[in-house]
Structure 1
């Protein structure tokens, strides 16, 4: 595979891993009665936050990479490992679904809470000099689609798969963090 295609594939897998968090939360939130218009708005809002949060992280990461060099690569890999471990471990905790009203400001608070991990991920990717536009668009696209799927499946399945999808997403981030550290 060419370098650009390899990077696109890697970024897509990372975007799916980060979007799995939105999917799993969407599964739980899908049990709350809502209209299709509301599901559509929630997905777009989560997708927008998954663009802006990592974008801010990438910009900050690029600034750090100019001053830290190789050390920044290890810091970024370590961040991916910690995010992955956090997602994996939290998937097995018995958290209640957020008691958040999903309209108005509630949608933004929901999207922010689901997207906060993508800021740290953006920081890691910025350290590695990742293609910024490609990365954030993939994050937004996959987060939007996976949020929609999560909300729809949550309505149908009542959250059966929630913890497993987040554990899978965390495993992917953990794998890429280890790969970056060991094979740099």
Structure 2
């Protein structure tokens, strides 16, 4: 997997966390940098761990599905990306819910909820023989940055553009899956 593909993958997987962080930031008039950074670090850590868990599960099964691994990666990325794009499209007219400051437990639950797609991608990566530690680290760092920025810009961006970012992230994941399939079918 090329560094560019890893970067696009990390951005695509970070969109859910970015959108959640925008919502978090939109609930406060002036979210401080410390709060934004804490949110980013929680989201980043969870997003880095979940592809490792998915990769481990995928490695257990990789010997049995080696002949169709590219189809599995394509299908998982297509489904995850399609779900993200559809969710962004479906919720485009809904206002952001009004919430108060999140407790650490709610923040962690939100981070886990937004990282489920990273576990599915981790399963896909097990079939592609990539350096999972590098990929997980990049995913975690990109997510931490995007979530931190999301909180800081939450009041400015709010719910007006969050659905567009989610649709774009889903499309990126679907394109990555299609690229993996095309690469395997043409070699």
Question: Equivalent residue of 1:130, what SS?
Answer: coil
Tell me the residue number matched to 1:19. 14
- CA distance in 2: counterparts of 1:126 and 1:149, whole angstroms: 30
Deviation at 1:123, TM superposition (A): 0.9
Counterpart selection for 1:40 from 30, 37, 42: 37
Q: How many pairs were matched up?
A: 179
State the 4+ residue runs in structure 1 displaced beyond 6 angstroms.
none
- CA distance in 2: counterparts of 1:50 and 1:79, whole angstroms: 17
In the alignment, is residue 154 of structure 1 matched against residue 154 of structure 2?
yes
Unaligned runs of 5+ in 1: 1-5
Deviation at 1:166, TM superposition (A): 0.9
Tell me the residue number matched to 1:172. 172
Question: Equivalent residue of 1:158, what SS?
Answer: helix
- CA distance in 1: counterparts of 2:121 and 2:47, whole angstroms: 10
Structure 2-normalised TM-score? Answer: 0.88
Is the contact between residue 85 and residue 170 of structure 1 (CA under 8 Å) also seen in structure 2? yes
In the alignment, is residue 62 of structure 1 matched against residue 63 of structure 2?
no
Tell me the residue number matched to 1:3. none
- CA distance in 2: counterparts of 1:39 and 1:66, whole angstroms: 42
Structure 1-normalised TM-score? Answer: 0.89
Tell me the residue number matched to 2:82. 85
Tell me the residue number matched to 1:118. 118
